[in-house]
Amino acid sequence: MYNTWEELEKAINNCQKCKLCNGRTNIVFGVGNKSADIMFIGEGPGADEDRLGEPFVGKAGQLMNKAFFGLGIKRENVYIANIVKCRPPQNRVPEKDEAFACMDYLRNQVILVKPKIIVLLGSTALKNILSEDRSITRERGNWIKSGDILYMPTWHPAALLRDETKKIQFWKDLKLVKDKAQKESLKT
């Protein structure tokens, strides 16, 4: 556990804790407000993210940005990270050992940001952050309280690209987040 962002970023620099280091161009650490009230956690970098070193800058990210814009959430007011920080080959789901190797970094980011709300984007985030037996289909759109944090599981934005009908549910879930944030005077 590192007490400062500088120490954490230095520790992750040149990480070789798992095999994903072999194919990466950039480590995709995280982006946004380092004392955000709301944090978004995705799965892992895709090709655009790997190239640019920033999470959610490709097609899925652009869709998420549209929802942010529509709901009045500013990307620079929230913090965005992923379960794994290096791109899995062919964008496959991160394997157990990869997610495990990267989890301490994410846990450290959460401790430093101290978010009140964490939005879990898709099944990989839900299962790795809360528990393996959870189901995104069953649990999306429902608040889950664990410790001091409220979790909102929702679809991964890439799922909206494959199935248009999920868009409305994604928007509804983020609207719940926006409404809760407004009620509690949280930064959005």
Binding mask 74-113 for ligand URA (x = CB under 6 A): --------x-------------------------------
Q: What is the β-pairing status of strands 38-42 and 117-121?
A: parallel
Provide the Cα torsion 120, 175, 37, 56; round to 10°: 50
- In one letter, which amino acid is 135? S
Name which of 82 and 188 has its Cβ closer to ligand URA.
82
Residue 3: CB minimum distance to ligand URA, A: 26
Should residue 43 be labelled a site residue for ligand URA when binding is judged by CB under 6 A?
yes
Separation CA 126–CA 152 (nearest Å): 9
Residue 125: CB minimum distance to ligand URA, A: 8
Q: What is the β-pairing status of strands 38-42 and 79-82?
A: parallel
Residues 116-135 within binding reach of ligand URA (CB under 6 A)? none
Binding mask 48-67 for ligand URA (x = CB under 6 A): -x-----xx-x-xx------
CB-based contact 80:125 (threshold 8 Å): no
- For the record, the structure tokens of 140 come out as 């999306």
Name which of 31 and 117 has its Cβ closer to ligand URA.
31
Separation CA 64–CA 59 (nearest Å): 9
Question: Interface with ligand URA by CB under 6 A: which residues?
Answer: 42-46, 49, 55-56, 58, 60-61, 82, 158
